Amino acid sequence: MALLDGELTEKEKQLLFKKAESFGVDLDEFEMVLDAKLFERQQATKSAAAASAPAAPKSDKFGDIRKCPSCGAIVQSFSAKCVDCGHEFSNIEANASIQKLFKMLNDAEDMRQEDSSSNNPFSAMGGLMSKQLNQAMGPGKVDKKKMEIISNFPIPTTKDDIMEFLSLAVPKSKTIGNFITRNTPENKAHNDFVNVWKTKCEQIIMKARFSLKEDKKTLEEINQYANELGIK
The DSSP call for residue 67 is E
95: left (phi > 0), else alpha (psi -120 to 50), else beta? left
Ranges of the chain with pLDDT below 70: 47-66, 69-70, 75-81, 87-97, 113-139
- Segment 32-80, tens digit of pLDDT: 888 878 777 777 777 666 655 554 444 444 444 567 766 777 766 555 5
* Closest by CA position to 158, among listed 77, 223, 70, 59: 77
Domain ranges of the chain: 96-109+139-229
One-letter identity of residue 88: E
pTM for the predicted model, two decimal places: 0.53
d(CA 38, CA 12): 12
